[in-house]
Amino acid sequence: MAKPIVGIFGLTGCAGDQLVILNCEDELLDLAGALDIRSFHMAMSDNDEDCDLDIALVEGSVVQPEEVEMLERIRSRARLLIAIGTCAVWGGVQAMKNEEQREKLKRQVYGPKGKDFGIIPSQPLSSFVRVDYAISGCPIEKDQFLQAALSLIHGDLPVLPDYAVCTECKMRENSCLLLERGELCLGPITVAGCNARCPAYGQPCIGCRGPVEEANVASEVNLLREKGFTLVDIQNRLRTFGGQSEVMQVAPTERGR
């Protein structure tokens, strides 16, 4: 079997997901041996900008018109396009304030220099192109990434969790922060895969992996309100990482109450 030809790309994000790939220290050589990596700007020179790709791994969200073009170009080269990281999958923290005027923000941040470039609200890859698989996480989990990569090398579809952080939290037998301490934990609506890292350290889940399939946000909001959190608190937490995902939008009429 020929090695899959791979390109690893970054749009707007912190490059944390590409770093996770580079941080697979013990596995990196094997991984590099099993893949034919042709493009990985963060890690190598002499990148091939034109070849067809079996797999394109794309990190980051789309915040500029130029990035839409870059992404479309990557898509046209790739058989499989895989979004890696919460920015690429859901828009990321930069989508938190998407309803604010871009021009105003640009003026505030860049002053007159802002005239030289355009910006658009931060959006996930799927707003522009077909995404074949989504590996979320802020950043992605190394083991999950490796397993997904290995499945693809083997010719299988990666298996990603369809269940919430709570499931792994209970498997680890953590004390429940939501029920025992009344903390604003998003575990019930956030997709698993991190082995409930934060609750295991006594910190509530802030939803960095994005919403689980069929997240019941309405019920989560109700139960948090019953615990005394305001809609503003809840909404701020929901939108920190899941800003662009429709499910995370609390009904607009309720906003700000």
If one asks whether residue 21 binds another protein (CB under 8 A), the answer comes out as no
Q: Of 85-93, 98-106, 178-186, 234-242, which segment contacts another protein by CB under 8 A?
A: 178-186
198 binds, among ligand SF4, another protein, none (CB under 5 to 8 A by kind): ligand SF4
| Residue 73 to residues 41, 76, 77, 97, 189, Cα–Cα distance (Å) | 16, 5, 7, 28, 34
Location of structure tokens 């083997």: 154
Q: Of 43-51, 105-113, 122-130, 163-171, which segment contacts ligand SF4 by CB under 6 A?
A: 163-171
Residues counted in the chain: 257
Minimal distance, residue 201 CB to ligand SF4, in Å: 9
* Alpha carbon distance 25, 165 (integer Å): 27
If DSSP codes are grouped into helix, strand and coil, which group holds residue 171? Answer: helix
Mask 30-69, x = binds another protein (CB under 8 A)? xx--x-----------------------------------
Helix pair angle (217-226, 231-242), 10° resolution: 140
If one asks whether residue 208 binds ligand SF4 (CB under 6 A), the answer comes out as yes
Cis peptide before 65 (omega within 30 of 0): no
Q: Of 59-67, 107-115, 116-124, 183-191, which segment contacts ligand SF4 by CB under 6 A?
A: 183-191
Write the DSSP symbol of residue 53.
Answer: E
If one asks whether residue 205 binds ligand SF4 (CB under 6 A), the answer comes out as yes
If one asks whether residue 173 binds another protein (CB under 8 A), the answer comes out as yes
Q: Of 14-22, 83-91, 117-125, 216-224, which segment contacts another protein by CB under 8 A?
A: 216-224
If one asks whether residue 123 binds ligand SF4 (CB under 6 A), the answer comes out as no
Q: Which of 13, 16, 188, 207 binds another protein (CB under 8 A)?
A: 188
According to DSSP, the β-strands at 78-84 and 133-135 are parallel
If one asks whether residue 4 binds ligand SF4 (CB under 6 A), the answer comes out as no
* Alpha carbon distance 150, 130 (integer Å): 22
If one asks whether residue 85 binds ligand SF4 (CB under 6 A), the answer comes out as no
Contacts of 222-230 with C-beta under 8 Å, sequence gap 24+, read: 223/178, 224/184, 227/178, 227/182, 227/184, 228/182, 229/184, 230/257
Q: Map 207-241 to HEC letters.
A: CCCCECCCCCHHHHHHHHHHCCCCHHHHHHHHHHH
Q: Are 1 and 14 in contact (CB under 8 A)?
A: no
Q: Of 89-97, 103-111, 145-153, 169-177, which segment contacts ligand SF4 by CB under 6 A?
A: 169-177
Interface positions with ligand SF4 (CB under 6 A) = 165-166, 169-170, 174, 176-178, 185, 187-188, 190, 194, 196-199, 205-209
Binding site for another protein (CB under 8 A): 27, 30-31, 34, 146-147, 150-151, 153-154, 159, 162-164, 166-167, 170-171, 173-176, 178-180, 187-189, 212-216, 218-220, 223
